Structure 1
Amino acid sequence: MKRRNFLKGMASLPLLSSVSATNLLADNAKTTLVKNGKVLTAAHWGIMDVEIKDGKVVGSKSHIQYPEFVNPLPQNTADMVYKSRVKYPMVRKSYLENPDSPKPELRGKDEWVRVSYEDAIKLVARELKKTRAQKGIKGVFAGAEGWRSTGNVHNSTSWLHRFMNLSGGFVKSLEDYSTAAGQVILPHVLGSIEVYEQQTSHSLVLENSKVILIWGADPLATLRVAFSSNEERGLKFFEDLKKQKDKKIIIVDPIKSYTGQFFDGIAEWITPIPNTDTAMMLGMAYHLYKTEKYDKEFIKTYTTGLDKFLPYLLGETDKTPKTPEWAAKICGIEAKVIKELVEVCVQNRTMIMAGWAMQRAHHGEQPYWMIATLASMIGQIGLPGGGIGFSYHYANGGSPTCKGAVLQGVNRASVGAFNDSGDFIGTATGRMENGKFVVGQGVDGFKEPQGYGIPTSRIADALLKRGEKFQHNGKELTYPDIDFIYWAGGNPFVHHQDLNLFKKAWQSVRTVVINEQYWTPTAKMADIVFPITTPYERNDITMSGDYSNMHIVPMKQIVEKQFEAKDDYQIFTDLCKAYAKDLVVAFTDNGKDEFDWIRYFYESARAQVKESPEIYELMKPFDEFWAENKLIEFAPTMESKEWVRHGEFREDPILNPLGTPSGLIEIYSETIANMGYDDCKAHPMWFEPVEWLGMRDKPASMHMLSPHPEYRLHSQLNQTSLRDKYAVANREPIWINSEDAKEKGIKDGDIVRVFNARGEILAGAVVTQNISRNVVRLCEGGWYDPDENGLCKNGCPNVLTIDLSTSKLANGPIPDTTLVNVEKFKGKIPELTAFKEPKFA
């Protein structure tokens, strides 16, 4: 269709209410913007004071200042407001011409056409209806895995899922990219998800632990951010730990990370071959058992299944005893060191701080199962300063939980029901009555459709293997026939593995809609893009400390909305109006605007502490709280300062059982045994990864690890001036061992080509001794920037990673199981375009 015919066709769709022609939410003068001065706000990287001059952001810094360290991430608010922005609603040219045959192979290459906001809303509503009519619920995928912006109200993930549920349902994602294997295996072993739960308090570790074993984690980098907002107590803990001279700190990691360098000269650095952690732990367990130094009483009282695990450990089932010598041949660590490591843990109160990297690998369930088994044999789980923790490196786990109010978040709602005219009439939990949505009186006889989900890391498989069955955590699932993707709050063209394969899968669907603030790689690979406000262009409220709940922070709008950016809430509100009569009533909870939600969340939290006068006094009525623009700080209790992970279980395992079938730590799982999987059996085992340095016929020579970066939150902040601190030759930096670099003729600062059978990228060489031989480090999160031949000019490691799952159990991603080749780049260096706008018609 020609553009004029397209617009004529759009005119036949239901008109939006006149309120959508203006900005529904924060343009209504309920708050006056500060033109010159400072404003308090928050982001993942902390509570911040933002400096405004003539209505523009000119500076920012952490509101909470500790003398020992300065977090550099909060200093780049201006770049987050002004750089690489999506300015207007955009539709890909071929999609605009014919949405029924939109040439999806041109995504990422096609020109973009600017359209009015109203036309974009009507287009999305129409195509979503069309997809549901043709494919049903299984045709629509709402992806939002990623670190959406801070704020309890403007939560893009929640609003997307709320809209999709109310308008008819969707395919959701299961687990996430960060901890998928851990989320599935640990409930079978320890009865809880663990990776996102509170840890033994920092004070107890400082007081009681004699050995700190940091295995596969880089807390000094990852504790710069939190999922809500960072209260920064984790970094303070590691500063305090460094000052204590009576602690033995051991770091197990092929990389001398930011944390390793922080503890340089203090910590012992042990460097196993990547992906061999399970074998090393098995050698440790064998030594404990054979020397009878394991805690027999703990095993007898608090665990089940060691007797069924021992035949494998001792080699009775496969004629291969898992001795330290056997482990040494696999992991590259001397048997003597393996024995000494486990003995020092048994002889001293030891806290094992387990990182997430080891479970983002092929058979990633195994190291987590084995490290829990090893900790059980050591026998200190549930003791102050002893045991194991899976979240000390994330969101300040161990910062004691404060006594105070807790803000709630947006309810994602249940699936909507519609009458024969297409009008919204309610859900299974509420119904329309006299123009209002009444909760608790569901539509008579309406049953919610069966929900559909796929593991987050299997989205490419879902698109390429429609209708095929697969196993997941003991269930047989079927890949749905997805033809409409709506993504808000994430950047899958950086997160996902094997981006060339992912691109092929992505181009198999008819419609891709993205809500985005910046021209990210994912936005450039869409059909329709809505420009979204940053947190600094809207009002919100949040808490700091995912575990501590230390502060309630007002997030006042700092600057005017840029260009034609809208809040996610407004976009989904207007989509409701375009989609079905009365749908918007339920979506907005009978007409709540931005401030209504902020007030509602605050006052609901305030009501929680009404019976605690000393806390209630901290929380002034909402209008006073908002006018003051000051955070509210709660204090930890003596009980929370003395809290021990698994402490109640150790005190009485009968009255306080774990969430496993036995109520105990399950070294052997009957549940998993009954699943009959060949790649995840009834107890922890060593499985050879699909790619690793110890394999016979290596497809490439070096093992690439892609940990979390120091100066970003995944892909967030990549376009800011923080990049000047780490970019090498204007590319993502890749660490390479000095001896390896010398052999390959690579010098510090060279641009290198990193490649394997899956793709190729350019990166800037950092020649260093802070990494093992035959291992390279290229942090995840660099924006994907392919040229016409698929070469990523910026250095996104997921061009090279494998899109296989950890196992049939968890189906987690395996980015840290990757072999690559590295060579000095020859030829003309291509221009970097990652942060530039795409082509416009």
Structure 2
Amino acid sequence: MPDELSWRPHSSHWGAFAAARDGSLVRVRPHPGDPQPSPLLGNVAGASQRTARVGRPLVRRGWLERGPGPDPARGGAEFVAVSWAEALDLVAGELSRVRAAHGPGAIFGGSYGWGSAGRFHHAQSQVHRFLNGLGGYVRSVETYSLGASRILLRHVLGSDELLEQPTTWPVLAEHTELFVCFGGMPAKNTSVNAGGASRHQVPDRLRAAHRRGARFILFSPISDDLADDLDPVWQPVRPGTDTAVLLALAYVLVRDGSYDRDFVARYCAGFDEFHRYLTGRTDGQPKTPSWAEEISGVPASFLTGLAHEMASHRTLVSVSWSLQRARHGEQPVWAGVALAALLGQIGLPGGGFGHGYGAVAGAGAGRLEFPLPTLPQGSNPVPEFIPVARIADMLLHPGTSYDFDGHRLTYPDIRLVYWCGGNPFHHHQDLTRLRRAFARPDTVIVHEPFRTATARHADIVLPSTTTLERNDLGAAGNDDLLIAMRQVLAPFGQSRNDYDIFTDLAERLGFGPEFSQGRDETGWLRALYEQWRGRHAGWAPAFEDFWAAGELPLRADTPRRTFLAGYRADPDRAPLRTPSGRIELYSATIAGYGYDDCPGHPSWLEPEEWHGSAKAARLPLVLVANNPASRLHSQLDHGEYSRSTKVRGREPARMHPDDAAGRGLRDGDVIRIFNDRGSCLAGLVVTDRVMPGVVQLSTGAWFDPVPTADGTLMCVHGNPNVLTRDIGTSRLTQGCAGQLTLVDVARFDGPLPPVRAFDEWPEGAP
């Protein structure tokens, strides 16, 4: 790369980098301090490409001609290009109409804030600030990633601090002797981190533990959920059955008297109730290793031996986020906490329980000791909310009651959806159903840089800039640097940043000065930085000096911290915020809710779709819809690195050789994966990296649907969420249950439909 290029510092959720314009191309090079830069940087140049960009404001012709109202044509109808003035007038008029006729509780403010690593151009903050200034909106709570865990941990450990402040990597690398990993610690996930990662350290920390002599046990249907250079012992486990394995390990500790009685007595509550369940006194079924083997396929002898090894070594029980993204996803998390409690090592360096190591780069990196610059969002006077994964239920069933964390709530009647940042046609499940849900509101407004499926299902599409087309402050609460994210490219076409769009809308709606406070982009960046510097970082240089330098170190190294060390040292002076003040192996609060899908202690609850269900006779494979290795969620799926992993232009699906041979399939075939909810095409990769009975297809391929004769949709590109079930993990948390579902697979014969997901839209096309 020629040195004469004008390199500008920038950042992304998958790492800090510098970028430069080289004619019509964008060159990218990783931050020099990053020991293992993410390959996802290979997608960044795709943000500059004309392919799939929205270059002008667009309005759906049917909405423009007939006015607002429910319309099943959303998603496949013609758009008309309009001027910015006309588009903004239409948006402002529709917001005013809905507020006057139905109140602010009829507006849903949708966003899922992975759009930018910047602190100012954070789409979720921008849209919430705007809608709060307008009078409020219905919001969503929790996340698709951790919808079950956060609520469950607040009941069991008194807070969800474990997710933000777990034991840090230097402590694990130095002290842990045995890593028992349920769902693994996949290296692909450690590329990404909300707000950025200037130093990808997880692989090196794991290798350091391995060099010291630590052993790794992997329970997963996929062998590369732990890196090969860690020499892991891979124990395949049927998807969705980890809770049975965890309970059997706990049973052995209790049966053999090798659990830590003193720790349980002093630091835990509810052992007697949990013990009765483990030993079968409550349901007649002891949770023995033989019982777990029948459910999970894990040999009983292996479980018995492992339980003894765990009791005699400094052991970390690690449960991945993926396990709680399934029906009854609360149970493996709770069972993992219970197992770690029986081992008695919670609060000891390198021992205890971990949740999310390998999920993101920042897990185990340690939080900064001070907050970061943050755009104020104001307050929302509308009390109504939904769990984030229940958006289709809300749109389809207004006025219907549902359970959530001990409360009986009612879905609001939403007339206008305002979506800025994120792609629900990536994150959500059962996309045929979601498409019906998006047909119901009067109006859907979307800010989008790209022609995603969400943009296709809008009535008004406002073209927004990408991160390379803006200036910003890049930082994460667990990273070492604050980055001056300098603009690299001019905005594409007529695209504008979200802030400028909202400023013009606020002027039309009568609260422009309150929203903008008289500041443009540069004014806000300077103000946010200087306010932060004055309150929390007086040692930091002035804004102009920071901007010229390009970055600001926030700390020298990862801190050393052991989760719940203070609680272990003195549980009476530092009790947990649970009703008992202790770790709750049994929760009277949860039991009191009376939920049959989440009882008062960790339990094996048979899911509706798994290898052991009656439905498996017709749909014998379990689909594992995990996060992709080639991109962050669906971002920049059209980028060079993401597209390089496709098979015949479609998302790769992996199957065991026995399953492929039994269906007459060969590596490189285009296959049809199907169930009662829909189908998708994918490119087959035959590998023994997945266990028999499993097909693995990552999420994030841009949804490219065609209708089928049975009324469902087939995604010709390979989006697995056309197959997954739209149901909550339980009535306690209503989390996303999209990780696992039953399917079957066949070769796709006949003419292959083209993948159109990245095509430019000609004028007037959907």
TM-score by length of 2: 0.96
**678 and 267 in structure 1: CA distance in 2 versus 1, 3 angstrom threshold:** same
Match of 1:830 in 2: 753
Quote how far apart the aligned CAs of 1:822 are.
0.3
Query: Which of residues 399, 402, 411 is equivalent to 1:470?
Result: 402
SS at match of 1:710: coil
Any conservation in 2 of the 1:107–1:524 contact (CA below 8 Å)? yes
Tell me which residue corresponds to 1:586. Answer: 514
Structure 1 residue 773, shift from structure 2 partner: 0.5
Give the whole-Å Cα distance in 2 for the aligned partners of 1:399 and 1:195.
12
Q: For residue 58 of structure 1, what is the aligned residue in structure 2?
A: 26
Tell me, yes or no, if the aligned pair for 2:625 and 2:698 is still in contact at 8 Å.
yes
* Residues 691-748 of structure 1, C-alpha deviations (whole Å, 9 max, x = no match): 0001134241100001111111000121111124311111000000011101111100
Do the aligned partners of 2:176 and 2:350 also contact (CA within 8 Å) in 1? yes
C-alpha distance 610-456 of structure 1, shift in aligned 2 (>3 A): closer
After superposition, give the CA deviation of every residue in 1:490-538 in whole Å (9 maximum; x if it has no partner): 1001110000011111111110011111111111111111111111111
Q: Which residue of 2 aligns with 1:655?
A: 573
Find the aligned partners of 2:411 and 2:686 in 1 and give their Cα distance.
44
In the other structure, the counterpart of 2:604 is 686
Residue aligning to 1:674: 592
Once the two structures are overlaid, the 10-residue window that deviates more, 652-661 or 705-714, is 652-661
* Within-5 A mapping of 1:37-116: 37-54=6-23, 56-66=24-34, 69-82=36-49, 83-101=51-69, 104-116=71-83
What is the distance in 1 between the residues matched to 2:246 and 2:197?
33
- The CA deviation at 1:214 is 2.1
Following TM superposition, by how much is the alpha carbon of 1:35 offset from its aligned partner in structure 2, in angstroms? Answer: 9.8
| Partner residue of 2:644 out of 725, 742, 753 | 725
Question: Who is 2:174 aligned against?
Answer: 207
User: Is the CA contact 2:31–2:198 (under 8 Å) kept in the aligned structure 1?
Assistant: no
Task: Give 1:343 shift.
Answer: 1.8
Kindly, what percent of the aligned residue pairs are identical?
38
The change in CA–CA distance for 1:402 and 1:162 in structure 2 (over 3 A counts) is closer
Distance between the aligned counterparts of 1:66 and 1:42, measured in 2? 12
**Which position in structure 2 is the counterpart of 1:598?**
525
Letter in 2 for 1:290: R
Q: Please say if 1:331 is aligned against 2:331.
A: no
Residue 480 of structure 2 is aligned to residue 553 of structure 1: no
Say which of 204, 208, 215 aligns to 1:241: 208
Q: Displacement of 1:242 after TM fit?
A: 6.5
Q: C-alpha separation between the residues in 2 aligned to 1:141 and 1:262?
A: 47
- 2:507 pairs, out of 574, 577, 581, with 577
Q: Does the 8 Å CA contact 1:407/1:601 hold for their aligned counterparts? A: no
The 2-side partners of 1:146 and 1:736 are apart by 33
The alignment partner of 1:257 has SS state of: helix
Question: Corresponding residue for 2:393?
Answer: 461
Q: What is the CA-CA distance between 1:352 and the residue it aligns to?
A: 2.3
Q: Give the match for residue 759 of structure 1.
A: 678
2:256 maps to 291
Alignment counterpart, residue 633 of structure 1, candidates 553, 561, 572: 553
Work out whether 1:536 is the aligned partner of 2:468: yes
**Residues 123-181 of structure 1: per-residue CA shift (max 9 Å, x gap):** 01111111122222331111112412110111111111111111121110111111100
Paired amino acid for 1:835 = F
Of the three residues 283, 291, 313, the one matched with 2:278 is 313
Give 2:740's aligned residue. Answer: 817
Matches within 5 A, 1:251-400: 251-257=218-224, 259-263=226-230, 266-393=231-358, 394-400=360-366
Structure 1 distance, partners of 2:20, 2:163, is 34
Q: What do residues 14-42 of structure 1 show as CA deviations (whole Å, max 9, x unaligned)?
A: xxxxxxxxxxxxxxxxxxxx994211111
Please tell me the residue identity of whatever aligns with 2:542: P
What is the distance in 1 between the residues matched to 2:34 and 2:378? 41
The verdict on how the C-alpha distance between 1:451 and 1:212 changes in structure 2, with shifts beyond 3 A counting, is same
Pick closer, same or farther for the CA change 1:261–1:758 going to 2, 3 Å. farther
CA distance in 1 between partners of 2:696 and 2:222 (Å): 8
| Map of 2:720 onto structure 1 | 797
Q: Is the 8 A contact 2:191 2:200 kept in 1?
A: no
Q: Distance in 2 between matches of 1:642 and 1:778?
A: 37
**How far apart, in 2, do the equivalents of 1:240 and 1:727 lie?**
30
Verify the 8 A CA contact 1:234 1:398 in the aligned structure 2: no
Highest Rg: 1 or 2?
1
Pick aligned residue for 2:449 from 498, 512, 517: 517
Residue number in structure 1 paired with 2:622: 703
Q: Please point out which of 496, 501, 511 is paired with 2:433.
A: 501
One-letter code aligned to 2:533: R
Q: Which AA in structure 2 matches 1:622?
A: F
What are the superposed Cα offsets for residues 267-305 of structure 1, whole Å, 9 maximum, x if unpaired?
A: 100111110011111111111101010111110111100
| Aligned: 1:622 with 2:590 | no
Cα deviation for residue 683 of structure 1 reads 0.8
Q: What is the one-letter code of the residue matched to 1:578?
A: R
Question: 1:780 — aligned with what?
Answer: 699
How far apart, in 2, do the equivalents of 1:379 and 1:227 lie?
Answer: 33
SS in 2 for 1:512: strand
Count of residues paired in the alignment: 755
Q: 1:653 to 1:389 in 2, by over 3 A?
A: same
Unaligned 5+ runs, structure 1: 1-33, 416-447
Aligned match of 1:193 in 152, 156, 160? 160
Partner residue of 1:420? none
- With the length of structure 1 as denominator, give the TM-score of the two structures: 0.87
Question: Once the 2 structures are TM-superposed, how far is the Cα of residue 234 of structure 1 from its aligned partner?
Answer: 3.2
Distance 2:611 2:145 in 1: 24
Conserved in 1, the CA contact under 8 Å of 2:186 and 2:224? no
What is the CA-CA distance between 1:192 and the residue it aligns to?
1.5
Which residue number in structure 2 is paired with residue 736 of structure 1? 655
| Distance (whole Å) between structure 1 residues aligned to residue 132 and residue 4 of structure 2 | 40
Instruction: Answer yes or no: is the 8 Å Cα contact 1:407–1:604 preserved in 2.
Output: no
Q: In the alignment, does 2:740 pair up with 1:808?
A: no
